[in-house]
Structure 1
């Protein structure tokens, strides 16, 4: 099984179990150790994955880091674990910082079992950087993140290779964060820059206030337009015009509805938007044209290969209540949503639902 398959399996487990994983020890056992196993480390070998490594610092005695990974006789990674949902950067980075300075490790990982923040000493030798150079989230990852994570696999671990790319990763992440902040609330410098490019008059305080609002609105409009463009490109025009099909779950027979009037089925704009979102999510793994929609009176089904034996999810969109049932790893997961765009929050489960059929075909 490839690393990405192992990660999807672990991601699905986290979706099912995270509500019952309440303590740090539970997070270690249920999520962290399986994550290390997925990377090829022998968690049952205390000379390779060392629990409770002594990391005394100055006058502070009894300091221990949760796990240390040792390869070729050297400590290469320190791992500090916290409970699921802990605010890692704000409260716990300082603790890992202390451990980092008293070991030979070049990498420190801070995790709650779901998010993994990777630190190094890129700015000053043997002094952990303030910002992580890489973050991996088991509930939200793509192929690019998996490729970066592979560098920490036991069989491919190479210190020089990771260090050579870590700096770019770190500053890329920082730039993305700054750009996101500008889109959420443009800074005075950003407003001033853009205003000077489109406005020839004197920039007074009143003009600044006016263009602060205009800049924020323009940025949001731009993002909205780009998202709509991507969703539209993922949607086959023929499917938008096609009136639905009713699934008979008790047989292979499928009744085609020629029009809403003849069947009582009417595909809503919310259902079309939900379909576009699922198709866009699935486009990372399969040809988006393989993901199709079939509408019924009580729900709207989204299938792989137009096959009712390959359900991805069902949209239950009523007038006052909306929910989505996702068919991932032989389980039905039903989630309540308040708006259609919340489907993006269940990206990993939807990808698992698609991925399971691809795996079956590979081994058939």
Structure 2
């Protein structure tokens, strides 16, 4: 795995951790888009908040719309469809979604519910193939699953290279499966072959060796890229069991603020700290560095609190979390203020 692939794999592992923590609480497509899909778009190398690279609700010739169109140099490269319905990830439903992509100029189609990401390509006539070129399951990530994604970025987009990586990956997956099956049910011929590579093999019973091979087979899963690879878990924001949990709306608002702030600092520096009456959004998890406050506890009125200099908190009422995008300048200015040299 080269440096670019390793970097993407690390980002994919962090996204997996986020999906595992929040997928059960995010039940709408809009929440999934903000929490999971925008980070995945950023992972590929596109600026999720820049309309020159990421277009929301892009129309197609069939009068339907793609949720996102990713482009470089004003050419549409990738179309994205997002769903919150698990049934939409079935083969039958995917075929209907591909009709939307067939009516677009996108070269790659992504269908996802946040946890499963299916990446489709076209045939020689430019029609999308029903079977995905690549599928990512973030509930069961493997060590080399990011391989090939580096060819989908805006500056490194290479369709042929991505297809070749996808073919190699499918072959690798089949090889891993075949090796695991062989090790779980070893034959006498395999045991005899293994014996030839063991020093001091005199006295080893071939029948006992067959049992030993089957016993050690699970240990090969990680090195072969299997599903049981230990994952480095990203710590939850403001991890503290004594604090009240954030609800779905608060989580969505936090991820929007975090995405906006991430234009100026690394996203892992932005934390959420829930309190009884509000959720504090902090830089470096430091109470002295408040970026904003989410006041969603009152069911009738939602407000976002902003800070500037030593001034008191300025609360702005919002109808829902999508209104936060219109207040992005306040968030960006606060982050720049907190990170400015003293």
Question: TM-score, structure 1 length as denominator?
Answer: 0.47
Question: TM-score, structure 2 length as denominator?
Answer: 0.50
For CA contacts below 8 A with separation 6 or more, give which structure has more relative contact order.
Answer: 2
Greater helix content? 1
